[in-house]
């Protein structure tokens, strides 16, 4: 099986969040299972590393293009260089135009290199146009929604010249969406099969509440058997409390105590249990719910928050600096994140929606019991005999779930049984890789007419 993944980022070369982690782990797991795997992503000016250039040319409608190449862990990485990507940082206000050029250039550049695959698998809206062009060229295509909220929209009158698509594609049955070009919709429309990163999210996005205006299309894909949820995995070598160099290594609930004391000492906390949070500060992540719950939470918990994002949420959390039971560190700090996962007693993840989520899986692996909203991948990864759930996205509901966790903590034997169960869970990438390869095999053997 020859697989070509197309995505905006891939760790360790480019990464802003979970997408980059997935594009490091999933291709490597597929390669271990015998697939021939290539990953195509942009050659950013901020790329970590300098790939040797293997091709340079000038493509109609795009302009000058170069391709770099690296190999690591059995995976072939190709980096598509365009002038618009030769700048600092990964993402910019003109990203729709930039990723249109990327998607338009992908297949001609691959053809110049002699690269051909059985399936092109695009990830999120940045790869939507590449999926469309691949489908029109007769390739088998898969497309994964990592977060439906981000869709890559731009005024269609201006953007249609960027795409290189035939005129018939600019209808409501194609890439048009309320007068805009929509690159997420391009991926959904032209892919032979669409996946999401958890089974529950695949169901949720067919409803108006979670469908972001595309629920009608997603209902049709479900009815046609072309929408599937495949749960993401976790890099269990990177997130392993027994070998983690950032923590006091431990492999059972008893070994967590030194990390708990270390975290308390680091932040000058009292003897109350610690509720940890490592999150992007955004409404999607429910950080406003956490803020409004703090007056209740500090009655029974120390609360340690690490995160960056929304300036208003950042300012509001900073304003809690006076309180002896609240510690907030702005931005992202990898080493501190490890210490919070290892040292906290419980972990709050009050997301309004969560396509999959990695933080709850990391917390479970470190024996830090999650308090989560019953949505998306949180439902699919946190066992009900381990974590604590709430449903309404409200501060009282979050506070009640945290209070339930605090009561459960008083039963040390019961709490440690939950910890043992949590630490024994397998979130490896082998199962997602196997399911995706099985999907590709079905795509090869099926004629799609739509």
Beta strands in 197-273 (DSSP E): 227-229
Phi/psi of residue 158, nearest 5 degrees = -85, -35
Domain total in the chain:
2
Cite the DSSP H helix spans in 350-394: 359-365, 376-381
Residue 248 lies in a domain: no
Residue 91 lies in a domain: yes
Are residues 317 and 189 located together in one domain of the fold? no
Are residues 268 and 313 located together in one domain of the fold? yes
Q: Where does the pLDDT of residue 267 fall: very low under 50, low under 70, confident under 90, or very high at 90 and above? A: very high
What pLDDT was estimated at residue 17?
80
Residue 56 lies in a domain: yes
Cite the DSSP H helix spans in 115-155: 128-136
Are residues 299 and 159 located together in one domain of the fold? no
Q: Using an 8 Å Cβ cutoff, are 54 and 67 in contact?
A: yes
233 pLDDT more than 80: yes
pTM of the full structure: 0.93
Beta strands in 250-316 (DSSP E): 274-281, 302-309
Q: What is the CATH number of the domain that holds 411?
A: 3.40.50.2000
Are residues 93 and 225 located together in one domain of the fold? yes
d(CA 109, CA 66) in angstroms, rounded, equals 8
Taking CA atoms, 168 is separated from 160, 175, 442, in Å, by 11, 10, 28
Phi/psi of residue 139, nearest 5 degrees = -80, 155
Q: Using an 8 Å Cβ cutoff, are 32 and 78 in contact?
A: no
Q: Using an 8 Å Cβ cutoff, are 128 and 186 in contact?
A: yes
450 pLDDT more than 50: no
Summarised one tens digit per residue, pLDDT across range 86-121 is 999 999 999 999 999 999 999 999 999 999 899 999
Are residues 226 and 257 located together in one domain of the fold? no
Structure tokens of 152? 């890559």
Q: Where does the pLDDT of residue 447 fall: very low under 50, low under 70, confident under 90, or very high at 90 and above? A: low
Are residues 302 and 202 located together in one domain of the fold? no
Question: Rounded to the nearest 5 degrees, what angle is found at the Cα of 21, between the Cα atoms of 18 and 26?
Answer: 120
86 closest CA partner among 104, 98, 69, 71 = 98
Beta strands in 146-192 (DSSP E): 153-155, 176-177, 180-182
Are residues 83 and 160 located together in one domain of the fold? yes
What spatial distance separates the first Cα and last Cα of the chain, rounded to whole Å?
A: 25
8-state DSSP, 319: G
Domain ranges, residue 144: 2-233+430-445
Give the position of tokens 């977060």. Answer: 147
449 pLDDT more than 70: no
What pLDDT was estimated at residue 130?
98
Worst-scoring range by mean pLDDT, 18-22, 68-72, 175-179? 18-22
Computed over every residue of the chain, the mean pLDDT equals 96
Residue 11 lies in a domain: yes
Taking CA atoms, 293 is separated from 67, 298, 308, in Å, by 50, 9, 19
304 closest CA partner among 335, 273, 271 = 273
Are residues 303 and 324 located together in one domain of the fold? yes
Sign of the C-alpha dihedral, residues 262, 418, 434, 23?
Answer: negative
Q: Where does the pLDDT of residue 445 fall: very low under 50, low under 70, confident under 90, or very high at 90 and above? A: confident
366 pLDDT more than 80: yes
Are residues 202 and 269 located together in one domain of the fold? no
Length of the chain: 450
Are residues 99 and 25 located together in one domain of the fold? yes
Are residues 223 and 278 located together in one domain of the fold? no
49 pLDDT more than 90: no
Summarised one tens digit per residue, pLDDT across range 302-334 is 999 999 999 999 999 999 999 999 999 999 899
């Amino acid at each position: 099986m020859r697989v070509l993944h197309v995505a905006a980022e891939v760790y360790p070369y480019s990464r802003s969040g979970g997408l980059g982690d997935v594009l490091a782990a999933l291709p490597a797991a597929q390669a271990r299972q015998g697939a021939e795997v290539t990953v195509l992503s942009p050659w950013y000016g901020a790329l970590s590393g300098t790939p040797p250039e293997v091709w340079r040319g000038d493509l109609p409608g795009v302009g000058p293009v170069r391709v770099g190449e690296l190999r690591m862990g059995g995976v072939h990485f190709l980096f598509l260089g365009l002038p618009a990507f030769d700048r600092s940082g990964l993402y910019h206000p003109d990203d729709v135009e930039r990723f249109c050029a990327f998607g338009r250039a992908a297949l001609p550049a691959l053809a110049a290199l002699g690269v051909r695959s059985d399936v092109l698998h695009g990830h999120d809206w940045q790869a939507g146009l590449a999926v469309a062009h691949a489908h029109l060229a007769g390739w088998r295509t898969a497309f994964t929604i990592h977060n439906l909220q981000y869709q890559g929209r731009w005024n269609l009158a201006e953007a249609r010249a960027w795409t290189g698509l035939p005129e018939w594609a600019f209808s409501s049955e194609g890439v048009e969406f309320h007068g805009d070009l929509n690159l997420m919709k391009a991926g959904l429309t032209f892919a032979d099969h669409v996946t999401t990163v958890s089974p529950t999210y695949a169901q949720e996005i067919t409803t108006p509440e979670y469908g972001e205006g595309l629920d009608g299309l997603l209902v049709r894909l479900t009815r046609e058997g072309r929408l599937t949820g495949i749960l993401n995995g976790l890099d269990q070598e990177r997130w392993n409390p027994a070998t983690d160099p950032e923590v006091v290594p431990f492999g059972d609930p008893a070994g967590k105590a030194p990390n708990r004391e270390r975290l308390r000492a680091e932040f000058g906390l009292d003897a109350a249990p610690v509720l940890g949070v490592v999150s992007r500060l955004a409404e999607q992540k429910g950080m406003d719910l956490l803020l409004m719950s703090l007056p209740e939470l500090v009655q029974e918990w120390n609360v340690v928050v690490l995160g960056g994002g929304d300036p208003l949420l950042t300012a509001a959390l900073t304003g809690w600096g006076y309180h002896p039971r609240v510690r907030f560190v702005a931005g992202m700090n990898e080493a501190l994140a490890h210490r919070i996962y290892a040292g906290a007693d419980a972990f709050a993840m009050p997301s309004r929606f969560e396509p999959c989520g990695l933080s709850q899986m990391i917390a479970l692996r470190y024996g830090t019991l999650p308090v989560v909203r019953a949505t998306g991948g949180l439902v699919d990864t946190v066992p009900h005999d381990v974590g604590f759930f709430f449903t309404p996205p409200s501060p009282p509901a979050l506070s009640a779930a945290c209070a339930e966790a605090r009561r459960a903590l008083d039963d040390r034997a019961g709490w440690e049984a939950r910890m043992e169960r949590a630490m024994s869970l397998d979130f490896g990438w082998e199962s997602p890789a196997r399911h995706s390869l099985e999907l590709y095999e079905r795509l090869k053997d099926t004629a799609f007419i739509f």
